[in-house]
Amino acid sequence: MAGCVKMLRTIAELEAQAGAKPAAIDLKVIDHLDGHACRWLRASPLAFAAFSDAQRIDVTIAGAGPGFATALDEKQLLLPRAVLDEPEQARQGRGVGLLFLVPGIGETLRINGSVANVDGETLVVAVQECYLHCAKALLRSDFWQPAQPAINGVGDFLRSSRFMALATADTALNTDLSPKGDPAGLLAQPCEGGIRFADRPGNRRTDSLRNMLQRPHASALLIVPGHTQVAHVQGMVSISADPRLRQPFTVRDKTPKLVTSIASPSIALRPSSALARAKPWTAVAPPADIDPAAIFAAHVKLHKARGLGAMVARGLVSIPSLMRKSLDVDYKRNLY
pLDDT tens digits, 16-51: 888 887 776 777 899 999 999 999 999 999 999 999
CB 162 within 8 A of CB 141: yes
Beta strand 229-240 with 258-271 is: antiparallel
- Give percent of the chain with pLDDT exceeding 90: 73
Q: Across all residues in the chain, what is the average pLDDT?
A: 91
Per-residue pLDDT, 1: 44
Distance of alpha carbon 77 from alpha carbon 269, whole angstroms: 30
Reply yes or no on whether the pLDDT at 153 is more than 60.
yes
Question: If phi over 0 gives left and psi between -120 and 50 gives alpha, with beta otherwise, what is residue 93?
Answer: left
Per-residue pLDDT, 331: 92
Chain-centre distance of CA 168, in angstroms? 10
* Domain architecture of the chain: domains with CATH: 2-333 (2.30.110.10)
Judged by DSSP in three states, 131 sits in strand
Distance set, CA 198 to CA 11, 128, 158, 202 (Å): 18, 28, 14, 12
Distance of alpha carbon 125 from alpha carbon 177, whole angstroms: 15
Specify the range with the lowest mean pLDDT, choosing from 219-233, 276-290, 293-307.
293-307
Q: What is the pLDDT of residues 236-267, one digit of tens each?
A: 999 999 999 999 999 999 999 999 999 988 99
12-37 burial: b if 16+ Cβ within 10 Å, else e: eebeeebeebeeeeebbbbeebbebb
